[in-house]
Structure 1
Amino acid sequence: MTTLEHDFLPGSLVRARGREWVVQNDSRRDWLRLRPLSGAEDESIALIPELELHPVEPASFEWPDPAHAGNHAAALLLRDALRMTLRAGAGPFRSFGNIAVEPRGYQLVPLLMALRLSTVRLLIADDVGIGKTIEAGLIARELMDRGEIARLAILCPPHLVEQWQSELEARFNLHAIALTSASASRIERELPHGVRLFDHHPVVVVSLDYIKSERHREQFLAAAPECIIVDEAHTCASSGTGKQLRFELLQRLARDAQRHLILLTATPHSGDETAFYNLLSLLDPRFAALQGRMTASDPLRQELARHFVQRRRKDIVEWQAETQDGRGFPRRMKTELTYQLSGEWGAFFDAVQDYCREMAEAIEQQDTQQGGARLIWYATLALLRCVASSPAAAVKALTTRLEGTMADDDLLSDERLHDGEADDLMGSDLEPPAQLQDASRLHDLIAEAQRLSGKKGDPKLAALIRHIGSLLEDGYHPVVFCRYVATAHYVAEHLKAAFPKATVDAVTGELTPEERRERVEGLEDAGQRILVATDCLSEGINLQHLFTAVVHYDLAWNPTRHEQREGRVDRFGQQADEVRCTMLYGQDNPVDGFVLNVILRKGETIQKELGVLVPLPEDEARISQALVKAALMRRSDSSMAPRQASFDFGESEQLLAPLQAQWQDALEKAKANRTVFAQRRIKPDEVLPEWHKQQQALGTQADVQRFLQSACVRLGSPLEIGRKQARFLPQHLPEALRQRLSDEGIDKPQSIDLAELHRSHPLVGLLAQHLLEDALSSERPLAARCAATLTDDVDVVTTIYLLRLRHQLSYVRRREPFQMMAEETVALAVRGRTNPQWLADDSVNRLLECTPSGNLPAEAVQREVRAALDFLAAHPQPLQALAEQRAQALLADHERVRAAARDVGHHSVSPCLPVDVMGVYVLLPDAL
């Protein structure tokens, strides 16, 4: 057995098993995790020193060999490769080397809040489109890179699973598996024998539908990760059998006082007091006691403010104006577009109303039981809603028989009829049935609806086509939201005919989430694109990168759905300065009139007053009753159809009076909570410079592009540069590199958007890792560790030493000590050799990017490099001084962020010596 002679700290270099390694963060004296000095993170190993045949010993990093000198381009390539391989960056935010998103200042606020909590319990309730996914991802990635968590689970509604999986991969460099009812059995079969799912897959996105069953719920609770993110958290806090089970699950998860819990919702308070305080109790059970006593001076409310952040668009805009951040949200320009139920279509609408009245009178005469009345009221609403939507939806409703077998409780709450509750906007987009009997009158209505299909007979479609034409002319890319599948296909078909030069596609609930995503992405290259969609896209797929306008072809009966539709386009990442939103409605349609004046206008007033939407309280029976009364109101017989304002919805509106009162009450409570939870006291602009500093150290977007292009050229597979994208051709690369790329799914030619490419992309990381390994082991490396260059950019011999600094960062959190390794690449230069002048600022990097003016013989190059190495050996003090200086600067950066976050704990930083000399590059003045 080997005797332990050394206590290796993170960042130390060791020799074991005939190879050099770097000691990693989670190592102990009796157990070491090691990363190969010239290898990648995924090549790390763990070993027990006592069991090794040969002792684990301290190692030193070999200096460059003058015999393997290269040219200046190869020297630059090594510098860039070294920066691209850095993941454990030396800044105070450990995650910034692993993320592919540039957070805006306000998105750092939840991260700063998390840093000051020993156990992170946060409710992030920012407005739709502000970027809650990014805010939560930053926290989780930071905790992971600090070594405070090793496993993560995201719980979300089924339709958001793929979006979360994609966002984690693309933005946070986290490979997650999707655990759904459909995928669970396959994933479990593929597990190694005896290994638990959450141990084998450290990052998992879990569908809330999957853990409905008791067996799945108990399995999850038994092995749940130490950090949980819950998206659409309000769906787990309100009443109802399925939701109650979700709430019990979160309660049991929250009982572990060490578990991090991040709750996300844009609608924390939807008028249901109990649900709101259920949500707060997950942060801390004490917060449930705030119900009925939420006053500004209450110490418990002030404690809640450490765990709850809620910003409106207005808050963000005000903050950006104060800090000159300069990149606000686009202007949301709203307009309304009306059409009249005139001519033959108006006569058809009146005929449908007459049919519904006759059916109601017949049922009242023949069947005094409640069930018959419910059927006719359901049929009335279903039919008039589908007729208002489109001829195609009307035909579908008229030809689908409504059987009297639905339970009374289910009938008027059928999701095909309504627009979903405030916390569930993914209701069915199928048309509701409306056929009660096979009468000849019904056949006549069906034939008339079919005959009036198209622009000529359908005034609503004609109004849309005119409006889309003006949007396209102004350079906008519109999304047209419809309520029903039949309407979406009908609208798409006629838009294709009206705009043959545009690319038009339809996305409905008939498609799987993956198929929907593919349809949307298939429009990316179109010069003019129009997407027609049902509300299956109102959540789950972001549209801001492709679309700049929203048209509500069908009015939603729930204001929250309108906001969700517009929020798909008007959200974080939208590059347009202006987003247009249009609401289309029939100016003499009584159903549209009631929804518009009694529901949507009220929601809009509340939103303007508060800055965020407060959902309409749930009561389908009361809303249905009011809608039925409005639906059967007669239109004026005058040739001049009345405008919506002339409808008298007195009786219908009275039915909704109790809901309106609840809605107003919810507004007042939300207003009382808003100020303290906007977190105005936290100043992210104080730490935003740390982001920019780390970006410069790790490599900017321009650095990434230059590296990728240069690396591909040196590897014999240059990129094919196009107007917007570049094409990468892996087939010409070395076999070993091709295999590593194939393991990451990069095994065939593919297009790359250079403007979106980030250093955390696997292609960038693998190319950099390959070049670095080659430079450290090959006798003819592609990236050079040493070179001598003639240039007009210097007037005296100047030597640049490319250095890799490692620091040991120690801090205490939850009374537990943590030790981490931080790495950075810096360049140190010396002008002259007799009276040397040392340089260690930005000018050194500019020197490294000088322009060569001539070549030197190989013997001269080797001679100059040897002289530079001898000089460094004789003057080791500047390297040590630089390491100490950088450690102190790093500590100051950490302390500044800690102060801004009011973080708890204590930090210390010490350099790992000796410094690694990665490259030596001599610049000689060109005498010519």
Structure 2
Amino acid sequence: MRIDANSWYYSPDHGQLCQVIEAQTLWGETTCRVWLPGRDSVVRIPASRLKPIESAGTTSPEYIAYIAAAARVADALTQDVLLAPIESSVIPLPHQIRALSRAIANDRVRYLLADEVGLGKTIEAGLILRELKLRGLVKRTLVIAPKGLVSQWVAEMRVHFNEHFQLVLPEDIKTLSRISAVSGSEFLVPGSIQQPETRDQEPANPWTMFSQVVVPMDSVKPLDKRRGWSAAQVSEHNRERFEDLLSAGWDLVIVDEAHRLGGSTDQVARFKLGQGLSEAAPYFLMLSATPHQGKTDAFHRLVSLIDAQEFPDISSVTRERVQPHVIRTEKRRAIDADGKPLFKPRRTQLGPVSWEDRHRDQRLLYEAVTEYVREGYNQAMREKRNYIGFLMILMQRLVVSSTSAIKTTLERRLEALEERTTDGHGYTQMELSKEGSESIGVHPWFSPEEWADLDGQEQVDTLLKPRLKVLENERAEVELLLEAAKRCEAQGPDAKAEALLEWIYRLQAEEGDPDLKVLVFTEFVPTQEMLYTFLTERGFEVVCLNGSMDMEERKRVQDAFAKDARILISTDAGGEGLNLQFCHVVINYDIPWNPMRLEQRIGRVDRIGQTFTVRAINFVFEDSVEHRVREVLEEKLAVIFEEFGIDKTGDVLDSAQAGQIFDDLYVEAILNPDVVETKVDEVMKSIQEQARESRQSASVLGSTEDLDPREAQRLLAHPLPAWIETMTVSWLRSRSHELKAMRTEDDGISPGAEIIGKEGPATIWRLTWPDGTVQEGAFTHHSALSPHYSKLGLEEPRVRGLAMRLPPFAPGQPIPVITLPGLAPEIQGFWSLWEISIHVDSALSTQSSSLTRHRRVLPLFLADDGRVFAPTARHIWDQLVVTEPTILRHLDVETSHQAFERLREAAERQGKMIYDELVAAHRERLAREREKGEYAFAARRRAIERIGLPQVRNHRLSLLEQEEERFHEQLGRRTQILPELAPLLLVRVEGNHG
């Protein structure tokens, strides 16, 4: 075959058309330099390996159907069609659809997801993750969350998105390091660590063993120092947990409860962790219902993690600058798919518990412990023994919880007082006493934030581990109290346990449900154990959750409660991350002082999907300090709620603000019972002012617009999965025909696609790819799909490549003449598809998402009378993705060439508007970058000009000026735009004459 320069041929080695640039014959062998448009590269090929373009199989019905469907998929991606809702098992709500749409609309997916509590930010993050994966932009994802939420993240990603994350707990990190240091898997036996992705060669960085990881926030934050550790130990700790983590090559980082990264200064470990995470991946999501806690400096630090250039100083934190980076929905605007309000009303009431005559000893025990706490706390504060003070306060909460809880803790306290040893960290009693007087005032191994995250049981366990220095006469006091607790326990059930039983029967009657499910919360495990025995003995099926249970145990308990169990008793740590919409009654057996803890408990059932009015009953002893505080609190809080138009404590305060305020209030009430109302008034004034400031400062987040439920409905009915199916099946079948025609099946591999069955609405395909890979699965989601079948879609690189690398139609290629069923006889003309794109300086297109948004596909129908009909072009395109055409004949080369030139001229005219839109969008992005950069340089210049030393000031200004010049130079290169118009498919269409 003669090879002509500038002509088009087919290269079976590359599976695409190519254009010969140069042909050279040397010693009887002709070698060609050819351009491969699918790769945009030039390669050398022996002339003997080139085939005429007629051999390409590019004019078969299957190939035409492939190009039509693939172009439809590619065009859908450029138009920001959302893939994740179509490809996932979760059915998103309107506000979640809008969150995903906003996130994906920008090249730089770096946002703060700030929906109010209970609106499903985890689902939104999962949708964004899936969207980025389906677009081929993300492979490696890291999730950072508070320790109580990490199991929930693993479970929700698996259930809703079929995404498998490896949970790495603090105790697993050393194991990971050992695994990475050796070959083999002898360490991979028990525990939470599963098999890594690859076994052939373990990576040096242990964090690269898994592509999707969830890790607790405080287990990976960097340390400056730690008492008792050498600098080398601190350095090793930071390398394993912080530096290696950040250098593991993540594509997407998600941080839950991200407001914790703001810190009190820019030196706090959590903020340093945030800075590292922000720089560790191109895509970055922070989740927080309370990102702005009335502290502008902390909020500035938080948003600077999204874009340090956009927010160089506090003055940059304005509503106009913040809003593009924040995605937020308010509960009052949230609706379901039918447009109805998403949340049901809530009914909360106090459940006063009275001491009857038979409970006389319990009441005396309460009063004795309260007096013990009062005296012990005062003595601890005078002697600056903060450990003892915190333990005293916990004793008060324990006696209110149950006789069992106070008795168990008194036994442990007495044991501690009788032993005079060092604690597990090597601290003596005296050292601990001194440590307790330091400013953190809680515990030397916990920051104030970490201490506040612990539930009551965890705080008790922490404070009873060290052998604390004895207070005066405390041992005798504890012995007397312990005897009293044992007497009470021997006399029968607690007053509150009996009240719980009465309330359960009462609620069953009021709700009209003899099988009513009830969620009972307590702070302490001994109370949980006592209630389990008490209720089980009375015929109830009861299950328990607490912080000591692993993920599998928690799942078994939740499943049991969802099925047959009537009552779930949970501690605060056990309840973190629970989704219990099938239950609507919560009884708070003991009330945590921080009202946000109470809000979080009730939030376990007051969630999306709850169909009943939520009922919450808060137990409190009559004539107790706690009762007096609670009564006055609820009365005053109601006034504040009315003023701000809200109905939940969580809508006023976040846990960081509320914790210390209410701890101090209760302590003051215990120490000085006569001043309860005065102290409550003071606290309420403080809360009112904080709420007002918080609401005002939070306005920087902006208000949310009304939602449209129709968008969710449109997405679920989108034909994209059908287009992907047509694209993939048609391409494989066209390749099969091509290889058979060219007799290149020496290896016995025959690509193709065949239907092997149905499962529900899903068609099951067996796909055989040219490399011999065989896949069996369905293109449309079906939740009942057998596990050995795959979900086929754009996440599969082979499938996605079919849409992202569309081969061009070569000039001179014979144009097929086609007809389609139902096509009107008067439709006579040429139909074509053209890809319009712009190319800019490579510095701009650092992400492939940019490349996606720099192209569009234009369908064009040119009638024989010379007119262009856009509706007809779209109609023919619609038909080609659902029906294979019938090829009547092929036009000769000369006629094909003339038609190509006419169509190209028409495409230039019709595509100008699309080109102008692409250019305008590109220039708008550049303008945003320029404005952001100039703002940042101005802020940095102001900061440098405040430097007092002229030499230092001038030197830094000079460096800044050079940096600014480079910035503008790079920006200038990005203004150079090169247009491209590429033909994808040309056919002559002749209407069906019957």
The TM tier, using the shorter chain, reads: 0.5 to 0.7
**In the TM superposition, what whole-angstrom CA distance separates every residue of 1:292-314 from its partner, at most 9, and x where no partner exists?**
xxxxxx77524543455374635
For residue 254 of structure 2, give the secondary structure of its aligned residue in structure 1. strand
Query: Residue 124 of structure 1 corresponds to which residue in structure 2?
Result: 113
Q: Identify if the C-alpha distance between structure 1 residues 428 and 828 changes in structure 2 by more than 3 Å, giving closer, same or farther.
A: farther
Give the letter aligned to residue 427 of structure 1.
D
State the distance in 2 between where 1:185 and 1:797 align.
72
> What is the 5 A alignment of 1:806-817?
815-816=844-845
Do the aligned partners of 1:559 and 1:600 also contact (CA within 8 Å) in 2? no
> What is the 5 A alignment of 1:237-276?
237-239=262-264, 244-251=268-275, 261-270=284-293, 275-276=298-299
Q: Identify if the C-alpha distance between structure 1 residues 52 and 340 changes in structure 2 by more than 3 Å, giving closer, same or farther.
A: farther
> What is the 5 A alignment of 1:414-425?
424-425=452-453
Query: Residue 666 of structure 2 corresponds to which residue in structure 1?
Result: 627
Could you tell me which of 632, 636, 651 is aligned with 2:675?
651
Give the letter aligned to residue 185 of structure 1.
S
Residue 247 (structure 1) shift: 1.3
Could you tell me which of 582, 589, 607 is aligned with 2:616?
582
**In the TM superposition, what whole-angstrom CA distance separates every residue of 1:399-419 from its partner, at most 9, and x where no partner exists?**
43253556487599779xx99
Give the letter aligned to residue 356 of structure 1.
V
TM-score, normalised with respect to structure 2: 0.61
Q: Aligned pair 1:305/2:322, yes or no? A: yes
Q: Aligned pair 1:460/2:448, yes or no? A: no
Q: Aligned pair 1:569/2:591, yes or no? A: no
Residue 511 (structure 1) shift: 0.4
Q: Identify if the C-alpha distance between structure 1 residues 197 and 531 changes in structure 2 by more than 3 Å, giving closer, same or farther.
A: same
Query: Residue 457 of structure 2 corresponds to which residue in structure 1?
Result: 429
Structure 1 unpaired stretches of 5+: 23-31, 38-45, 70-74, 291-297, 634-648, 708-712, 774-787, 831-836, 851-860
Residue 674 (structure 1) shift: 3.4
Q: Identify if the C-alpha distance between structure 1 residues 137 and 126 changes in structure 2 by more than 3 Å, giving closer, same or farther.
A: same
**In the TM superposition, what whole-angstrom CA distance separates every residue of 1:70-97 from its partner, at most 9, and x where no partner exists?**
xxxxx99x99998999897343256557
For residue 152 of structure 2, give the secondary structure of its aligned residue in structure 1. helix
Give the letter aligned to residue 405 of structure 2.
A
Q: Identify if the C-alpha distance between structure 1 residues 798 and 369 changes in structure 2 by more than 3 Å, giving closer, same or farther.
A: closer
Q: Identify if the C-alpha distance between structure 1 residues 717 and 700 changes in structure 2 by more than 3 Å, giving closer, same or farther.
A: closer
Q: Identify if the C-alpha distance between structure 1 residues 841 and 473 changes in structure 2 by more than 3 Å, giving closer, same or farther.
A: farther
Q: Aligned pair 1:539/2:576, yes or no? A: yes
Do the aligned partners of 2:347 and 2:615 also contact (CA within 8 Å) in 1? yes
Do the aligned partners of 1:483 and 1:535 also contact (CA within 8 Å) in 2? yes
Query: Residue 699 of structure 2 corresponds to which residue in structure 1?
Result: 675
Could you tell me which of 342, 346, 354 is aligned with 1:329?
342
For residue 331 of structure 1, give the secondary structure of its aligned residue in structure 2. coil
State the distance in 1 between where 2:369 and 2:662 align.
19
For residue 235 of structure 1, give the secondary structure of its aligned residue in structure 2. helix
Could you tell me which of 319, 333, 355 is aligned with 2:368?
355
State the distance in 2 between where 1:142 and 1:18 align.
30
Residue 334 (structure 1) shift: 1.9
Q: Identify if the C-alpha distance between structure 1 residues 56 and 684 changes in structure 2 by more than 3 Å, giving closer, same or farther.
A: farther
Do the aligned partners of 2:591 and 2:620 also contact (CA within 8 Å) in 1? no
Could you tell me which of 550, 554, 561 is aligned with 1:512?
550
> What is the 5 A alignment of 1:772-787?
none
Q: Identify if the C-alpha distance between structure 1 residues 589 and 805 changes in structure 2 by more than 3 Å, giving closer, same or farther.
A: farther
Could you tell me which of 213, 218, 224 is aligned with 2:243?
218
Q: Percent identity?
A: 20
State the distance in 2 between where 1:560 and 1:407 align.
31
Query: Residue 614 of structure 1 corresponds to which residue in structure 2?
Result: 653
**In the TM superposition, what whole-angstrom CA distance separates every residue of 1:576-606 from its partner, at most 9, and x where no partner exists?**
4444031322351524425524656666655
State the distance in 1 between where 2:340 and 2:772 align.
40
State the distance in 2 between where 1:203 and 1:357 align.
50
Query: Residue 405 of structure 2 corresponds to which residue in structure 1?
Result: 393
Q: Identify if the C-alpha distance between structure 1 residues 166 and 358 changes in structure 2 by more than 3 Å, giving closer, same or farther.
A: closer
State the distance in 2 between where 1:789 and 1:368 align.
92
Residue 13 (structure 1) shift: 12
Give the letter aligned to residue 479 of structure 1.
L
Do the aligned partners of 2:86 and 2:716 also contact (CA within 8 Å) in 1? no
For residue 618 of structure 2, give the secondary structure of its aligned residue in structure 1. strand
Do the aligned partners of 2:532 and 2:569 also contact (CA within 8 Å) in 1? yes
State the distance in 1 between where 2:81 and 2:208 align.
26
> What is the 5 A alignment of 1:142-541?
152-168=141-157, 176-181=165-170, 182=172, 184-185=176-177, 188=180, 192=201, 203-208=212-217, 209-212=219-222, 213-215=237-239, 216-222=241-247, 225=250, 227-239=252-264, 244-251=268-275, 261-270=284-293, 275-282=298-305, 283-284=307-308, 290=314, 301-306=318-323, 309=326, 311=328, 313-314=330-331, 316-317=333-334, 326-344=339-357, 346-356=359-369, 359=372, 370=382, 381-402=393-414, 403=416, 407=433, 424-427=452-455, 429=457, 432=460, 439=479, 442-449=482-489, 451-453=491-493, 458-467=498-507, 470-471=510-511, 473=513, 478-492=518-532, 504-521=542-559, 523-524=561-562, 526=563, 530-541=567-578
Query: Residue 833 of structure 1 corresponds to which residue in structure 2?
Result: none
Structure 2 unpaired stretches of 5+: 19-33, 182-195, 223-236, 418-428, 465-473, 730-752, 804-817, 863-868, 931-974
Q: Identify if the C-alpha distance between structure 1 residues 301 and 468 changes in structure 2 by more than 3 Å, giving closer, same or farther.
A: same
Give the letter aligned to residue 458 of structure 1.
E
Residue 107 (structure 1) shift: 4.0
**Number of positions where the alignment pairs a residue of Structure 1 with one of Structure 2:** 807
Q: Identify if the C-alpha distance between structure 1 residues 137 and 369 changes in structure 2 by more than 3 Å, giving closer, same or farther.
A: closer
Do the aligned partners of 1:95 and 1:145 also contact (CA within 8 Å) in 2? yes
Pair member with larger Rg: 2
State the distance in 2 between where 1:344 and 1:683 align.
58
Q: Identify if the C-alpha distance between structure 1 residues 306 and 815 changes in structure 2 by more than 3 Å, giving closer, same or farther.
A: farther
Q: Identify if the C-alpha distance between structure 1 residues 271 and 736 changes in structure 2 by more than 3 Å, giving closer, same or farther.
A: same
Give the letter aligned to residue 397 of structure 2.
R
Please report the RMSD computed on the Cα atoms of aligned residues, expressed in angstroms. Answer: 6.8
State the distance in 1 between where 2:264 and 2:458 align.
26
Q: Identify if the C-alpha distance between structure 1 residues 180 and 656 changes in structure 2 by more than 3 Å, giving closer, same or farther.
A: same
Between 652-661 and 150-159, report the one with greater CA deviation: 652-661
Query: Residue 834 of structure 1 corresponds to which residue in structure 2?
Result: none
For residue 262 of structure 1, give the secondary structure of its aligned residue in structure 2. strand
Q: Identify if the C-alpha distance between structure 1 residues 632 and 372 changes in structure 2 by more than 3 Å, giving closer, same or farther.
A: same
For residue 453 of structure 1, give the secondary structure of its aligned residue in structure 2. coil
Q: Identify if the C-alpha distance between structure 1 residues 152 and 286 changes in structure 2 by more than 3 Å, giving closer, same or farther.
A: same
For residue 263 of structure 2, give the secondary structure of its aligned residue in structure 1. coil
For residue 458 of structure 1, give the secondary structure of its aligned residue in structure 2. helix
Residue 548 (structure 1) shift: 4.2
Q: Identify if the C-alpha distance between structure 1 residues 733 and 629 changes in structure 2 by more than 3 Å, giving closer, same or farther.
A: same
Residue 364 (structure 1) shift: 11
For residue 696 of structure 1, give the secondary structure of its aligned residue in structure 2. coil
Query: Residue 983 of structure 2 corresponds to which residue in structure 1?
Result: 913
Query: Residue 638 of structure 1 corresponds to which residue in structure 2?
Result: none
State the distance in 2 between where 1:887 and 1:389 align.
74
State the distance in 2 between where 1:172 and 1:916 align.
39
State the distance in 2 between where 1:530 and 1:898 align.
61
State the distance in 1 between where 2:515 and 2:798 align.
40
Q: Identify if the C-alpha distance between structure 1 residues 103 and 146 changes in structure 2 by more than 3 Å, giving closer, same or farther.
A: same
Do the aligned partners of 2:167 and 2:213 also contact (CA within 8 Å) in 1? yes
Query: Residue 62 of structure 1 corresponds to which residue in structure 2?
Result: 57
Do the aligned partners of 2:524 and 2:571 also contact (CA within 8 Å) in 1? yes
State the distance in 1 between where 2:208 and 2:79 align.
30
State the distance in 2 between where 1:279 and 1:789 align.
60
Query: Residue 422 of structure 2 corresponds to which residue in structure 1?
Result: none
Do the aligned partners of 1:461 and 1:491 also contact (CA within 8 Å) in 2? no
Query: Residue 231 of structure 2 corresponds to which residue in structure 1?
Result: none
Q: Aligned pair 1:559/2:595, yes or no? A: yes
Do the aligned partners of 2:605 and 2:614 also contact (CA within 8 Å) in 1? no
Q: Identify if the C-alpha distance between structure 1 residues 624 and 847 changes in structure 2 by more than 3 Å, giving closer, same or farther.
A: closer
Residue 509 (structure 1) shift: 1.0
Query: Residue 645 of structure 1 corresponds to which residue in structure 2?
Result: none
Residue 542 (structure 1) shift: 3.6
Query: Residue 940 of structure 2 corresponds to which residue in structure 1?
Result: none
